[in-house]
Every structure is written in structure tokens, then in C-alpha cells.
Amino acid sequence: MSDFVTLTIDGKEVKAPVGSTVLEAAKLAGIHIPTLCYLKGVNEIGACRMCVVDVGAKSLQAACMYPVAEGLKVVTNSPEIRESRRVTLELILSSHEKKCLSCVRSRNCELQKLARDLNIQDIRFEGAEQNFPIDDLSHSIVRDPNKCILCRRCVSVCKYIQTVSAIETVDRGYKTIVASPFHMPLRDTPCVNCGQCIVACPTGALREKSSIEKVWDALGNEDLYVIVQTAPAVRAALGEEFGLPIGTPVTGKMVSALKKLKFDKVFDTDTAADLTIMEEGTELVNRIKNNGKLPLITSCSPGWIKFCEHNFPDMLDNLSTCKSPHEMFGAMLKSYYAEKMGIDPSKIFVVSVMPCTAKKFESKRSELASTGYPDVDEVITTRELAEMIKEAGIDFVNLEDEKFDDPMGEATGAGVIFGATGGVMEAALRSVPYLLTGKDPEQVEIKAVRGEDGIKTAELEVAGIKIRAAVAHGLGNARKLLEKVRSGEETYHFIEIMACPGGCVTGGGQPIQPASVRNEIDLRTERAKAIYQEDESSTMRFSHHNPTVQKFYEEYLGEPGGHKSHELLHTHYIVRENYPEDCVCDPQ
């Protein structure tokens, strides 16, 4: 049997793989069919009826679900089809809260775009006003059900990709709403704050909890010394907010913009990523040498950390005690840097620009305040930084490149690749040989841990020690991997886990690309290219070569894993029950 079938779409013959859908076949033929709920690999359920086509059946069929067949004749554009799509969309719009002017997704809203694409001039139906309460109690995520169109993309990504299942479609008919069990606020659920629901949402029903005003206030407060640090993945995607092609690295322009926003210092979180490698690498070497708890699992991803606390409480001892890089950096700024510069740490305000919504929650964890002050005061996402740049009227695209400030702006290529899945692992494996033998490895790049496979493994031998390593990204993959580790089916020395599929480059705080883009290209690969480019062009590619990090140890910390390091750079975790018994949410 042939692997292909031949069908006709709008009179054009198309050869499509067996098992593909009419929508996919139409794409091969260069024919565009509008979609709304469809998000490739995440949500393919035919719920919104926007992609209806005529396949010669009694009624119109959803192209995203309908399988191709030999000799099938498909019509994608007829008066009946156009009217059907229009009526459906008008009905969706009839109860949608149409506050587009002040909506965070205005101009990047898939519903808004579709209304234009389908030439909706008037909404013939007036739906009853929905008046659901907005849930803004989480530190990371705000849910506004009045803007929800029930496409279920958020539910699918939460349930099937992340296996978190904090939200579900609840109730029925007109009262249907996406909500947590018993309409609890997200804060009280096992939500890990990864924000993948936000980047999956076609409308403004999900957004990050904004910290923009707090940052503006700090910048306007003359008593405060406001320091900003930026994560590696931010530079790989920020340009998209200003119309630059996906995968354009904009490090220099970003630094320049931050200086224009009047931050007192602009530092690079990558410096702290190098510091993390020294601490975590040392932790790994110590655990291997001293028969400590293995596998050691990375702790950079706060979404993963909360997931572990909820779902794998028996494995908390496997987590590296290292704080995530930006928290380490915050602690260093409020101790070492404050002392060196003679600034009162209470006057230092640290802002982290992160590709991540979970970092917002993380920064509010009470244990992350080594100096008596929060290590990091506020976290803004890549999207929020773009909003600030736009609000300040900065012409981002035409900015001259500038460099991070000294002395905490120096970073290596190893620090940069933290932004892609496998990056922390690779950076660590570049330095572990040095930590064991005092010599650099011959091979810099470790390609086995790169790429988009959900679970990647590698084995390497250093100074006679075999190190078995595994990398998982996306919490569904993490769950699969850890269940094997838990059961003893697989054994590893070192595991990297990132909550978001693709790692930080496709984090929940990154610029939102609509389904029309995500269905076509692999955002993860494109953005990761920018990261690996920066690594390749770095003169320093080993974390332990970073002179700033070396100075940290010489002048202040002593040695990696030493007493001072533990005080400032390490943390602990707590067991979290999924729905605590006394969390009484009476459904009244």
C-alpha cells in the first residue's frame, strides 16, 4: 500500500501522507484554511468549527480533524462555507468581552485577526454579558474568563504536555468556563506557573501578573539603586516584539534599551549562570565522590521545582540545592557587590528580565532572601520589557549596540546556552572535567544533549568516571523520565530538567507567536539558534574561565560549595500537597 493518497482540494490535485488531515493536505497545496482552536501538537480537537470545509458529506467537516482519503474531493471556499464560518465567529464574538483597546493582546490577538480575515463588519448577535471574576491571586498568572473563547488550548497544554492539570473545562452550556477545581484560584492549585497556557492562548484570557508599574516606581525612586539582569533566552526572542525575524539575537540593543530606561546598572544573568555551573558542578562531583544522593537534578527552572515539590516529594533530595542563576545573582548583588561599592543593600532593587512567569513566583519564596532582603525584588518577562521599551518611546530596532556593565556583566558561552534545552547540562559537562582533573576537556560542544527530542541521554567518561546524563524538557517528559528513575529502570548521575518544552527560549514569558506561526515552524529550534550562535562566537566557552566568577571566589566566596556559597547561593525545598485538606472552598 502506498504511503500517500491523492485527493482534490479546490480542484487542485494533492498528494498527502496517509493519516494526515485535510488541513495538513491543504497546507501542502498552498491553500489556507482559517483555524482558531487548532495548535499543532497541542490541541487538535475540532472544537471551534472555524476550519470547516465541504468534503461531500451531509454537513461541513472540521479540516483539522478530517482524515484524507484517496479520491476525496474538498471545497474550502464557497458561500455556504464562508457563511458558516462567519456565523460561528459572530457567535463567539457575541459574548466575548470586546475591550480590545486596553487588552494586552491587542494587535497580537488571534480572535481579532480572524475577525478581520473573515471580514466581520457587524456582529448580528448580542450575547448575554459574561461577568466572571478575574483570578489575579497567583504571583505569576492572571486569568480573565471573560476573554476566554473556550478553545481549550490552555487546558490541553496544561494537561497533556505538562501533565499538571490545574485547569479544566467546567460546567456546561452557556455557563462553561475554563477553571480550576471548585473554582479555586490558581494560587491554591498544583499550577507550577510555567505560563505555557499564556503562550498557547489565542486571546487575552491569560496573561502574566504584571510588575511593570512596580519597576517604573523603582526607576523613579531616587533613593533606590536599581539593577537589572537579563536571562540568556531574553536576547534570543525580544526582537520579535519589534518585528525582527525569529531567531535574531539582540543582546546589544537590549542592553542599550535598558540603559535608556535608566537602570543604574545592566548586568547579565549569564554571569550567574557560570557561577551556578561552578556550584552545581562541584555538587555533582562531591555527590559522585562521596556516594551522595544521585541522580543530581538541576534546579534552574522554578516551574520544574514546584512540579517536583507537588509530584515527586520523595525526590527533593535529588534536587541540586543551587538557587537558580538570577537568585544567586541577586544574593551576590546585595552582599558582595553592595560591600564592594559601598551601597546599603536595603537600597538595592534588583529587577530580573526573564523568559519565564514561574520566576515571578520564585522571587517571592521567603527562603530566597539570604541577605535579609529578597534576593530579587521584581521579575518582568520578555514581553513586559518590550512593553516598557514601547511605552518609553524607544526606537528599539535602530538602537546602537551597547555592552553590559562591568564588573558583573561578563559571561561565557556556557552561560548563554542555559537558555536552550540541554544547555545547563552541556555547560556543566564542559566544566566537570576541570573540576575533577584541573584540565579543560578537548571537546567543547556536546551535541548529544542538544535538540528537540523530549528526553535526551549521553554518557561520557571523565578522569575514569563514567557519567550518565539525561535531559528532559516539558514536564510530561520530565514525569516520564523520573518515573523510570524512581522505579530503578534507569539510573543516571545527572539530569537536567526544564519545565517548558524547548527550555527557556520557549518559556511562558517569551513573545507570543500565534498558532499560524507555531504550526509552521519550530520556534524552539529557531530561537535556540540565536543562543548557540552567541556561544560559538564567544571567546570564553567554559564557565570556570569567567574572570568575574573567579574573582567572586578569590575575593568573597572562598571555594565552590564552601561555607559562604552555601549561605548565599544554596536553598532548600518543601513538600507541597496538591490540594491541601483544609483549603476549604465551599462551592457556594
Partner 1 sequence: MGVCCCKDSKEQKLDEIIARYKGTRGALIPVLHEAQEIYGYLPMSVQKRIAEGLNVSLADVYGVVTFYTQFSLEPKGKYKINVCLGTACYVKGSGAILDKLSQILKIKSGQCTKDGLFSLDACRCVGACGLAPVMMINDDVYGRLTPDDIPGIIKSYRDKEAEAV
Active-site residue set: 280, 283, 300, 320, 359, 362, 367, 504
- Choose the binding region for partner 1 from 5-13, 198-206, 376-384, 577-585 (rule: CB under 8 A): 577-585
> HEC states along 27-85?
HHCCCCCCCCCCECCCECCCCCCCCEEECCCCCCEECCCCECCCCCEEECCCHHHHHHH
Q: Which of 56, 372, 393, 587 binds partner 1 (CB under 8 A)?
A: 587
CA distances to 233, 238, 255, 366, 496 from 385, in Å:
13, 8, 11, 25, 28
Grid coordinates belonging to 421: 534545552
For partner 1, give the closer residue by CB, 372 or 580. Answer: 580
Q: What are phi and psi of 118, to 5 degrees?
A: -90, 10
- Collapsed DSSP state (helix, strand, coil) of residue 206: strand
For partner 1, give the closer residue by CB, 149 or 166. Answer: 166
Place of cell 458529506: 57
- Choose the binding region for partner 1 from 160-168, 255-263, 372-380, 487-495 (rule: CB under 8 A): 160-168
For partner 1, give the closer residue by CB, 461 or 581. Answer: 581
Q: Is-contact 360 510, C-beta < 8 A?
A: no
Q: What's the closest the beta carbon of residue 575 comes to partner 1, in angstroms?
A: 16
Q: Which of 159, 364, 480, 529 binds partner 1 (CB under 8 A)?
A: 159
Specify the length of the chain in residues: 588
Q: What's the closest the beta carbon of residue 188 comes to partner 1, in angstroms?
A: 11
Q: What's the closest the beta carbon of residue 200 comes to partner 1, in angstroms?
A: 16
Q: Is the dihedral of CA 11, 17, 22, 27 positive or negative?
A: negative
- Choose the binding region for partner 1 from 293-301, 349-357, 395-403, 575-583 (rule: CB under 8 A): 575-583
For partner 1, give the closer residue by CB, 123 or 184. Answer: 184
Q: What's the closest the beta carbon of residue 187 comes to partner 1, in angstroms?
A: 15
What's the start-to-end Cα distance of the chain, in Å?
59
Q: For the stretch 303-313, what's the b/e string if a residue is b when 16 or more beta carbons lie within 10 angstroms of its beta carbon?
A: bbbbbbbbbbe
Q: What element of type H or E holds 527?
A: helix 523-536
| Upstream peptide bond of 407 is cis (omega within 30 degrees of 0) | yes
For residue 578, state whether it binds partner 1 (rule: CB under 8 A): yes
Q: What's the closest the beta carbon of residue 391 comes to partner 1, in angstroms?
A: 37
For residue 579, state whether it binds partner 1 (rule: CB under 8 A): yes
Q: What's the closest the beta carbon of residue 143 comes to partner 1, in angstroms?
A: 14
What is the C-alpha separation between 280 and 296, in angstroms, rounded? Answer: 9
Q: What's the closest the beta carbon of residue 130 comes to partner 1, in angstroms?
A: 17
Q: What are phi and psi of 56, to 5 degrees?
A: 85, 10
What is the C-alpha separation between 39 and 33, in angstroms, rounded? Answer: 14
For residue 581, state whether it binds partner 1 (rule: CB under 8 A): yes
For residue 149, state whether it binds partner 1 (rule: CB under 8 A): no
Q: What's the closest the beta carbon of residue 185 comes to partner 1, in angstroms?
A: 14
Which residues in 162-221 contact partner 1 (CB under 8 A)? Answer: 165-172, 180-182, 189
Q: What's the closest the beta carbon of residue 389 comes to partner 1, in angstroms?
A: 37
What is the C-alpha separation between 387 and 375, in angstroms, rounded? Answer: 24
Which residues in 229-258 contact partner 1 (CB under 8 A)? Answer: none
For residue 572, state whether it binds partner 1 (rule: CB under 8 A): no
Q: Name the H helices within 187-245.
A: 196-200, 212-220
Which residues in 81-120 contact partner 1 (CB under 8 A)? Answer: none
For partner 1, give the closer residue by CB, 443 or 578. Answer: 578
For partner 1, give the closer residue by CB, 169 or 210. Answer: 169
CA distances to 227, 301, 376, 501 from 326, in Å:
12, 11, 8, 21
For residue 130, state whether it binds partner 1 (rule: CB under 8 A): no
For partner 1, give the closer residue by CB, 313 or 547. Answer: 313
What is the C-alpha separation between 83 and 247, in angstroms, rounded? Answer: 39
For partner 1, give the closer residue by CB, 442 or 582. Answer: 582
What is the C-alpha separation between 461 and 464, in angstroms, rounded? Answer: 6
- Choose the binding region for partner 1 from 86-94, 158-166, 385-393, 400-408 (rule: CB under 8 A): 158-166
Q: Is-contact 201 169, C-beta < 8 A?
A: no
Taking each continuous run of H as one helix and of E as one strand, the counts in the chain are 20, 17
Q: What's the closest the beta carbon of residue 515 comes to partner 1, in angstroms?
A: 23
Q: How many residues bind partner 1 (CB under 8 A)?
A: 19
For partner 1, give the closer residue by CB, 125 or 174. Answer: 174
Strand order, beta sheet including 265-268: 265-268, 225-230, 348-354, 378-381
Neighbours of 127 (CB within 10 A): 14
For partner 1, give the closer residue by CB, 61 or 189. Answer: 189
Residues in touch with partner 1 (CB under 8 A): 159, 165-172, 180-182, 189, 578-579, 581, 585, 587-588
